């Protein structure tokens, strides 16, 4: 058989061609491999170095202690206590569902509550620790540490926990703290804060949040595959927050709280010379320590739905008709505008008529002929009906606003309400009706749509005590320079009322307490208390029935002492307390007496 020479070479050339193609392909792959090695080792070495560091190091937060809050004599009202918290790191969970079940049993947490808490932060990176239980006791810490190998996703850390040593004392002033929401965590205002951080929600804790909060530290440590620490690499110590000294007097605050226990109402004590708040109590109240342990949604709803509103600060947010404590305002307006003099008299027979309607005095038998000091002393309604009718609605509103009613006092607490001083324009625009002349008669004794807060009444009383000089109430004991500026800012007198006019009204307030008037229950020997009682109509009889309360009027007393160079103002409101002289005035006497014994 003959083999052709040409066919042999053709077959070999095909093999050589394929060999060359394979060589080029391998060369390209080799070059690509070299390029990626070079890229990983040279260009991207920092990226992968950080990734490798994350696998063997762990950075944790060292929480900064919050600034302390003290009273004026350095009694600590808000402190920090040592505590432990347990956090979950989701990226360390091998079986998330099983981890939830096991952890709920280990920490004795309802599985649904634990799931809800984790779901709350689902949008955050998996390596971010989520606090699932805090305020751990030593038994719980020991139980977690003993089973550390079984729970690499759990981390136990020390945590300075907010602690209020006197429980309910000054709770509405100090306020409470709650956890940041996921939405707040993403805002610029809370930039840099950590998951689970607590922030002030009310009171001083909220007002001075940026002052009280410190700067957290950082701890970097080497950990093994089970998350166990193998040594510290770096540490940045935390910086504690700034301390705050309040103007509150612990003894006065404690006594005010005791006096209100079992009632609903508010007590305010302040220094009329400076505006320093010496006591500000609201009752019912709450224990701010309970907020630190993080309410479940169910517990929170139960608290906020309580009919007696324990979270409401009645001193700055409770709106009430002032009743007869408004009568000095009518007197000052009528005197200053020339509608009456100190010796102007009206006859009180127990009932009179205006605009075809009967209007009664609280004293059914009548007071007889009364001049101004006597009318204030006995709180005669009919005298002030006549004075208010002469004054008229618009001038009543003018003097009420000049004396601090119907506007914010400027206290350094969030959530204050401004109250309401009605005018004809307000009636047309808000009520959509005209103001009737008979309403002015009721307004003259502090009834009707006129609304004030207890703090406003206290500041109003301070203006009376100062013979026209206003002060801004405050709780933070400012440095001398800042305090001086605050006093200068608040030194605007009620220019439309002379000091001599104030003296005429103060004379009646002194007689009310010291000469057998309606405020006699507030008298303190050798302290020259001047005051005014009041009782107001109920806004809601339905609410009283719901709470099982006897249908009574609200009880007011407000006053200052001593008559000359006053040093303290006391304002008391007791809801459903009845007559001001019977209920509120004796409580004020207790505080006037305590102040005199301590400071006079």
What is the Cα–Cα distance from 87 to 446, expressed in whole angstroms? Answer: 56
Query: Residues 61, 217: contact at Cβ < 8 Å?
Result: yes
Helix (H, G, I), strand (E, B) or coil at 266: strand
CA–CA gap between residue 588 and residue 577 (Å, rounded)? 14
**The token pair that represents 569 in the structure block:** 């103002």
> Whole-angstrom Cα distance, residue 27 to residue 456?
89
Q: Match 């005590």 to its residue by tokens.
A: 465
Torsion of CA 420, 423, 427, 430, to 10 degrees: -50
Closest CA to 135 of 66, 85, 65: 85
Rounded Cα gap, residues 236 and 219, in angstroms: 6
The answer to whether 484 touches 505, Cβ cutoff 8 Å, is: no
- Say if CB 238 and CB 62 are below 8 A apart: yes
The distance in angstroms from the start CA to the end CA of the chain is: 140
Task: Assess whether 336 carries a catalytic annotation.
Answer: no
Q: Give the angle subtended at the CA of 268 by the CAs of 265 and 270, to the nearest 5°.
A: 180
What kind and span of H or E run contains 13?
helix 5-38
32 Cβ neighbours under 8 A, 6+ residues apart: none
Query: Of residues 324, 490, 512, 535, which has the active-site annotation?
Result: 324
How far apart are alpha carbons 588 and 553 in whole angstroms?
18
Task: For residues 279 and 592, give the distance between their C-alpha atoms in angstroms, rounded to a whole number.
Answer: 12
The set of residues, in sequence order, having a beta carbon less than 8 Å from that of 61 and lying 6+ positions away, is 157, 194, 216, 217, 218, 219
Nearest-angstrom CA–CA distance, 581 and 101: 62
193 touches 181 (CB < 8 A): no
Residues for the chain: how many in total?
600
Question: Measured between alpha carbons, how far is residue 419 from residues 81, 266, 409, 570 in Å?
Answer: 39, 16, 10, 20
Do 477 and 246 contact (CB within 8 A), yes or no?
yes
393-402 vs 327-336: helix axis angle to the nearest 10? 110
Spatial separation of the C-alpha atoms in residues 453 and 468, rounded to whole Å:
20
**CA–CA–CA angle 393, 370, 439 (5° rounding):** 20
Least Cα distance to 130 among 97, 65, 179 occurs for 179
Residues with a catalytic annotation lie at 324
């Amino acid at each position: 058989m003959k083999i052709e020479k040409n066919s042999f070479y053709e077959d070999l050339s095909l093999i050589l061609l394929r060999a060359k193609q394979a060589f080029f392909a391998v060369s390209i792959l080799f070059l690509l491999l070299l390029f990626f090695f070079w890229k990983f080792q040279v260009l991207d070495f920092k990226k992968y170095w950080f990734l490798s560091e994350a696998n063997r190091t762990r950075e944790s937060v060292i929480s900064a202690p919050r600034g302390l809050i003290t009273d004026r004599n350095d009694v600590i009202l808000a402190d920090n206590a040592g505590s432990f918290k347990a956090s979950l790191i989701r990226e360390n969970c091998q079986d998330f569902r099983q981890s939830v079940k096991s952890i709920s049993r280990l920490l004795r947490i309802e599985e649904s509550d634990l799931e809800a808490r984790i779901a709350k932060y689902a949008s955050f990176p998996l390596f971010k620790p989520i606090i699932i239980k805090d305020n751990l006791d030593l038994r719980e810490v020991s139980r977690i540490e003993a089973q550390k190998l079984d729970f690499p996703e759990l981390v136990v850390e020390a945590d300075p926990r907010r602690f209020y040593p006197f429980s309910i004392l000054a709770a509405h002033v100090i306020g409470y703290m709650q956890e940041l929401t996921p939405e707040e965590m993403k805002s610029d205002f809370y930039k840099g804060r950590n998951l689970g951080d607590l922030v002030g929600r009310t009171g001083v804790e909220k007002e001075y949040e940026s002052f009280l909060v410190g700067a957290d530290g950082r701890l970097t440590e080497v950990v093994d595959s089970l998350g166990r620490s193998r040594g510290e690499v770096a540490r940045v110590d935390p910086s504690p927050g700034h301390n705050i000294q309040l103007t509150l007097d612990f003894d006065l605050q404690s006594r005010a709280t005791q006096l209100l226990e079992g009632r609903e109402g508010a007590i305010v004590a302040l220094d009329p010379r400076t505006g320093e708040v010496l006591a500000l109590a609201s009752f019912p109240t709450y224990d701010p320590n309970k907020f630190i342990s993080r309410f479940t949604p169910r517990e929170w709803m139960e608290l906020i739905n309580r009919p007696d509103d324990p979270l409401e600060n009645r001193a700055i947010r409770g709106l009430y008709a002032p009743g007869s404590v408004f009568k000095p305002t009518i007197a000052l307006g009528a005197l200053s505008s020339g509608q009456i003099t100190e010796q102007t008299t009206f006859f009180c027979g127990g009932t009179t008529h205006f605009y075809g309607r009967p209007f009664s005095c609280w004293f059914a038998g009548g007071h007889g002929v009364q001049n101004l000091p006597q009318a204030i002393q006995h709180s005669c309604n009919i005298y002030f009906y006549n004075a208010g009718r002469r004054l008229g609605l618009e001038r009543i509103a003018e003097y009420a606003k000049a004396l601090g009613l119907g506007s914010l006092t400027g206290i350094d607490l969030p959530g204050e309400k401004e109250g309401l001083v009605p005018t004809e324009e307000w009636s047309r625009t808000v009520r959509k009706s005209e103001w009737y002349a008979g309403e002015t008669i009721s307004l003259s004794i502090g009834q009707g749509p006129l609304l004030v807060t207890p703090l406003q009444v206290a500041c109003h009383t301070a203006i009376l005590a100062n013979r026209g000089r206003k002060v801004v109430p405050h709780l933070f004991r400012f440095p001398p320079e800042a305090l001086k500026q605050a006093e200068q800012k608040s030194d605007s007198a009620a220019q439309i009322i002379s000091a001599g006019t104030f003296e005429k009204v103060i004379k009646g307030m002194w007689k009310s307490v010291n000469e057998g008037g309606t405020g006699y229950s507030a008298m303190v020997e050798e302290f020259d208390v001047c005051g005014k009682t009041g009782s107001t109509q109920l806004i809601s009889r339905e609410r009283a029935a719901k709470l099982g309360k006897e249908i009574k009027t609200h009880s007011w007393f407000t006053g200052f002492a001593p008559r000359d160079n006053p040093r303290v103002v006391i304002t008391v409101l007791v809801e459903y307390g009845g007559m001001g002289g019977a209920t509120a005035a004796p409580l004020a006497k207790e505080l006037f007496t305590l102040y005199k014994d301590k400071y006079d």
